[in-house]
Amino acid sequence: MVVTRFAPSPTGRLHVGNIRTALHNWMWARAHGGRFLLRLDDTDLERSTEENAAAIRADLHWLGLQPDAEAKQSDRFALYESRFEELRAQGRVYPCYESAEELELKRKILAGRGLPPIYDRAALALSDADRAAFEAEGRRPHWRFLLDHDSPIAWTDLIRGPQHLDPKLLSDPVIRRADGSWLYMLPSVIDDIAMEVTHVVRGEDHTTNTGLQLQMFAALGASVPAFAHEALLVGSEGKLSKRLGSLGCDAFRAEGIEPIALIALLARIGTSLPVEPVADPTALFDGFDFARFGRAPARFDLDELKALNARIIHMLPHAAVADRLPAGMDAAGWEAIRPNLDRLDEAAGWWAVVEGAVSAEIAPEDRAYLAQAAEEAASIEWSDGAWKALTATLGAATGRKGKALFLPLRLALTGREHGPDMNALLPLIGKVRAVERLRAAAS
């Protein structure tokens, strides 16, 4: 069974890049009848908060990306300790006593010589007496994972294709701090093993991490999941934008963006498939394949999202939005008004045009025309064809046509120069209100 996981750190809110990663993990699992897991990587106990965790859950719920199960890394420390001891017994982790300042000095020296800042493994040469002396000074070790320099790192990425890293050119990664707390690298591998994750979908900034983690999987005797490293998002201007880091579900809700619009855009940008309006996310499963993802950065454009949002609203059935519409707006009202909406909350303004009071600035030369229109509206047979009947009668009687025929009527009946098709809107306004509005405008 396909098993994917979305593993945010609850040290802040989700932003659009996180949302895209969550979506692709969810889509891959759902498209293959698999499981989608939420894992809160909260090993940073000082910065992780339950408030952020709750916000992450709420955002996923709003998006419709419901996980099949949830886990918190802070509940799994005993597992990490057990597997850490296995690696320690194998000699695959080792203690290091350099301070942050000493490590920084080493990096500067290497940089000054034009060499890559790779850890020199000096800690491996320490004797028991050396380590005891450091301990006596009050130093506590941080721990590194010992890379196997004789085992080249290679894998076939589902997006990036064949990948190769030379372990000799990489520092042994720090996996545990001197205070005993865990860094990201090892717990993530331990959890992926325990949760039987089959596919890891994440940003290309994790590509080197993957190379290091492959050796951790091997050292723990586990099979390796498939990896898909997707290109990062950039703004519409073609470069990384700080604003992308602040765009989250709250911002999208404030812009009136429907969850399905955000899903439809993020599912396709950066792929060879076109962005299209859909009313159901399952329509996006067909053709969803990491082989269609490009290596170039995926461009996120808020204006494109807003335009897509409007197109999707125009196709949503009344049943999908009924609980968010103004009281009294039935299917006929929705179908009349939705073509003029960019965002759903604009429906209330248009429904006020139907049921509320309206006023408009009427040109003096149009008042007699509107008085005649009121009498004609009162006398014609009122039906779904009332607008065509009214304008046909008035055109024949007055000789008006085009804008001179239609605009004064629209202004008097709706208070606006533009709006929904009057053929659909006038039956909603109704005969009584229509005649009242025409007479009021004529006076």
240 pLDDT higher than 80: no
Residue 411: what pLDDT? 97
Residue 333: what pLDDT? 96
CATH of the domain at 307: 3.40.50.620
Residue 388: what pLDDT? 95
Contacts of 46 (CB under 8 A, 6+ apart): none
Cβ(103)–Cβ(120) under 8 Å?
Answer: no
Based on the fold, state whether residues 115 and 26 are members of the same structural domain.
no
pLDDT grade for 383, boundaries at 50, 70 and 90: confident
Residue 414: what pLDDT? 97
For the residues 47-68, what does the mean pLDDT come to? 97
Task: Please tell me the distance from the alpha carbon of residue 138 to that of residue 406, in angstroms, as a whole number.
Answer: 87
CATH of the domain at 131: 3.90.800.10
Residue 238: what pLDDT? 63
The residue segments making up the domain with residue 424 are 364-442
Percent of the chain having pLDDT more than 90? 95
**pLDDT mean across residues, the chain:** 95
Q: What is the pTM of this model?
A: 0.91
Query: Could you say which of 315, 345, 374 is where a domain stops?
Result: 315
Amino acid (1-letter code) at residue 302:
L
> Residue 389 corresponds to which tokens in the numbers above?
């009947």
For the residues 191-198, what does the mean pLDDT come to? 98
Q: Is residue 284 situated within a structural domain? A: yes
Please calculate the CA angle 225-226-230 and round it to the nearest 5 degrees.
Answer: 130
Computed over its alpha carbons, how large is the radius of gyration of the chain? 32
CATH of the domain at 419: 1.10.10.350
Q: Is residue 197 situated within a structural domain? A: no
341 pLDDT higher than 80: yes
Q: Is residue 371 situated within a structural domain? A: yes
Q: Report the number of distinct structural domains present in the chain.
A: 4
241 pLDDT higher than 90: no
Q: Is residue 222 situated within a structural domain? A: no
pLDDT grade for 217, boundaries at 50, 70 and 90: very high
261 pLDDT higher than 90: yes
Residue 244: what pLDDT? 74
239 pLDDT higher than 70: no
For the residues 95-118, what does the mean pLDDT come to? 94
Q: Is residue 44 situated within a structural domain? A: yes
Amino acid (1-letter code) at residue 18:
N
